Amino acid sequence: MAVEGEAEDDLLQDLRSVATYEFEDLLSKVNGTKDLVIQPELMPLLEHVTPYKFLKSRQVDRMFRLDSPTDEGNHNRFFLIKPELQLVKQVLFFIEEDRRSSIARNNVVIFVPRMLYTCESLMEQNGMCGLVKVCEWHLDLLPLDNDFMSLEVNSAFRSLYIDQDLCCLHTVAISILNFQRTFGVIPTVHAVGPLASTVYRLMNNLKEVGEPIPQQDPRVQELILFDRKTDLVTPLCSQLTYEGILDDVFGIKCGFVEFDTAVTDRTKAVKVLVNSTDPVFKIIRSKHFSSVNVILGQIARELDVEFKEGRDRGQSVAQMKEFVKRMPELKTKHNSLEVHVKACERIVDKKLADEFQRQLQTERALIENYDGKEVTEYLDECIHRQMSATFLFRLISLMSCTFGGLKSKVYQHYKQLIIQASGHKHLTSFYNLRKCGLLQESSSASKSGNFKSFSKRFNLVPKSVVDVDQPTDTSFVFGGVYKPLSCSVIGSLVKKKDWSLLEGIEGTTYTQPTSVRPLSGPSKVKKKVLVYFIGGCSLSEVNALRFIGKQLDVSFIVATTNIVNGKSLIDSVIV
C-alpha cells in the first residue's frame, strides 16, 4: 500500500546522533559504573535518543525515577532534570539524605537543555556547588519522526501568552541556531506573528555571542516561524484524522501513546511508539477516521495471504528461506495491526457517539459563522448538564475566535452560567482566556477577530462536498469542513512569497547572510522548508503540511514547542 508522509531521507537522524554523542560525552566525565536518576517527564525523551542498550554499554548500571528516592545504587550518580526549582530541590533532598546516611557519592546534575541562574543560585544557597558537578545537555529539538520534532515544553502556550515569560523564546532561538550548525544557515526566514519576529531578533543577538555557524551548503532553504496566536481556531477544532483523533482520545506524549488494558488485553497499560517506524500507523495516520477500518481490513487480508503463502508446502527452499527472513517484519506488522484495530474500537466507544456528532455540527456552524438558535441551545444544554469545564471553554472560545469576540450580553451570560455550575475559581479561567486572546468581548476583540475575512480570502470553508478519502485540499483533516488557517498561510508563503495576500497578519521576511552561493539550475533534490510553531502545533496541522508538501513538491520539516489539541490547549490555560 502507498505510504503517506514518508520523507525522502531521514534528515533529522543527524540531530539525533549529535544529541546521542553529547550525552555519551557527559557520561564519560565519570569513570566506572553509574546510576541515572531521571525526572519522569524526561524518560520518553531519553528513549528516543539513548535507548536502554546504549546506556548499558556506557556503564549505566541502574536507573531510578526522581520521584522515587532510594539509598541503593552505585558510587557515581547522575541526575537528569529540566531547569526547574522544584526539581533542583528534589535533587538536593537526595544528596542531603546521602550525607545524613554517611554515603559518599560522586553526584553529577545534568540540566536539559540548559541551566538557569535561578537553579545555580538555589544550589549555592544550600552549599552544594562544591559538592556537585553541573553539566548541560543541549537536547532542545527532539526528533519524534523523520519530518517532525518538538521541544516538548508543554507549558509553552501558558508561559508565553499568560505568564508573559519569554524564556521559551530563548530556547527556540538556540534550537534553530543548533539546527543551522548541523544543516547550514537557512537563507530565507519568514516570521509570522510578533513572537516570531522576536525569535529572529534573539537568533541574531545570540549568534554574536555563541559559537560561529560553519559555512556550508544549506540543506534547508526556508524557515517559517509561526506564532500560535496568529491562528487560535485550528487547535480548538476536533481532529478527524486517525493520528489526530488518537491524540484527542488517548493523548500522544513525546511520540508515545499509552494504551489501557482494554486495548492491549494485558494486565497493565502499555506505551506504544507511534511514528513512521510503525508499519501500520504510517499507512493510516493521515487518513480520515471513517476510512481507517476499511484500510485495516485490507492490511489484514494482505497479511493473511502472505502467511498462507509462507505455509505453502509447494514452495522451493529459496522461497522458504525468503519467508523465514521476512517473518520478523510480518509479525511486527501483525502486532501493530492488532493494537490499532483495538484502538479504533475503543475510539468508537469513547468518541464517535451521538454526542460527538452534535459537537462536530456545532463546531461546523461556528466555523461557518452561523449564529443560530441551535448553537446557543446546545451550549446552554452542555452547561446545565455540567459537562467538563474544558469542553465548555473550548466551544465558547471557538465561538469567540470565529466571531471576532462575543457580544457583551452573550459573554456575561456564559460567564454567569459556568461560574454557577462549576464554581467561582473559573473567574480566573475567564481572566486567563481573555489575556491570551482565546475569549474576548466584542468591544475588546483582538486581531483574532479577523477570522471571517481570512476565511473568505483563503477559502477556508469549502463550498462543495470534499471527498475525505481522496482529498484535494487540507480540509480533509477536519472532515472536509475547514482548511487550517495556519497551513493556508504557510502554503501561500512557500508558493508565492507575497505578503500582500496576507493582509491583517503581522509578519516579515528576512534574508540571512551566507557566503555559500545557492546552487544554480534544476536540482533533483526537493526544496526543504522548516516550519517552526511557537506556542504549540496540532497533529492535524502536521498532516495538512505533509499534504501541501506533496502538492508543491516540497519537503516540510515541522518543529514545535509542543504538541497541542483542543483539550490540552484549554487545560493549560484554565484553573
Phi/psi at 501 (5° precision): -75, -15
Q: Could you say which of 107, 139, 171 is where a domain stops?
A: 139
289 and 306 in a single domain? The answer is: yes
The residue-averaged pLDDT of 276-280 equals: 95
Q: Which domain holds residue 397?
A: 354-453
Mean pLDDT along residues 168-186? 93
Residue 282 shares a structural domain with residue 250: yes
Q: For 388-451, give the secondary structure using H, E and C.
A: CHHHHHHHHHHHHHHHCCECHHHHHHHHHHHHHHHCCCHHHHHHHHHHCCCCCEHHHCCHHHHH
Does residue 470 contact residue 476 with C-beta atoms inside 8 Å?
A: no
Same domain as 265, residue 228: no
Same domain, 314 and 402: no
Query: What are 493's three cell numbers?
Result: 508563503
Within its chain, how far is the Cα of 40 from the centroid? 18
Measure the CA angle with vertex 553, ends 487 and 178; round to 5°: 70
Residue 322 sits in a domain of what CATH number?
Answer: 3.90.830.10
Q: Do 558 and 507 fall within a single domain? A: yes
pLDDT tens-digit readout, 33-69: 999 999 999 999 999 999 888 999 999 999 999 987 6
The enclosing H or E element of 145 equals strand 142-145
pLDDT tens for each residue of 79-105: 999 999 999 999 998 888 888 888 888
Q: What is the pLDDT of residue 131?
A: 80
Cross-strand bridge partners of residue 533: 226, 560
Triad 476, 481, 484: Cα angle to 5° = 70
Give the tens place of pLDDT for each residue, 358-380.
Answer: 999 999 999 998 877 889 999 99
**pTM (predicted TM-score):** 0.93
Q: Indicate whether 49 and 97 sit together in one domain.
A: yes
> Which pLDDT tens digit goes with each residue over 475-525?
999 999 999 999 999 999 999 877 777 888 999 999 998 765 555 555 567
Residue 44 resides in a domain: yes
Please give the pLDDT value at position 434: 96
CATH number at residue 45: 3.40.50.2060
Asked if the structure places residue 107 within a domain, the reply is: yes
Q: Determine, yes or no, domain membership for 465.
A: no
- Alpha-carbon span 387 to 356, nearest angstrom: 13
175 with 230, same domain: the answer is yes
CATH of the domain at 370: 1.25.40.850
Instruction: With both helix axes pointing from N to C terminus, report the angle between 317-350 and 242-249 in degrees, rounded to the nearest 10.
Output: 50
Is residue 331 located within the same domain as residue 391?
A: no
**pLDDT at residue number 316:** 78
Same domain, residue pair 212 and 120? no
- Residue 164 and residue 233 in one domain: yes
CA atoms of 345 and 289, how far apart (whole Å): 11
Between 135 and 513, residue with greater pLDDT: 135
**CATH number, residue 535:** 3.40.50.1910
CA dist., res. 437 & res. 397, Å (int): 9
* Whole-number percent of the chain with pLDDT over 70: 94
At 352 the pLDDT is 67
> How many structural domains compose the chain?
4
Query: pLDDT value at position 171?
Result: 94
Say how far apart CA 460 and CA 488 lie, in whole Å: 8
CA pair distance 61, 35, nearest whole angstrom: 6
Domain end among 319, 350, 381: 350
Same structural domain for residues 249 and 332? yes
Q: Which residue, 116, 139, 162, sits at the end of a domain? A: 139
Same domain for 192 and 230? yes
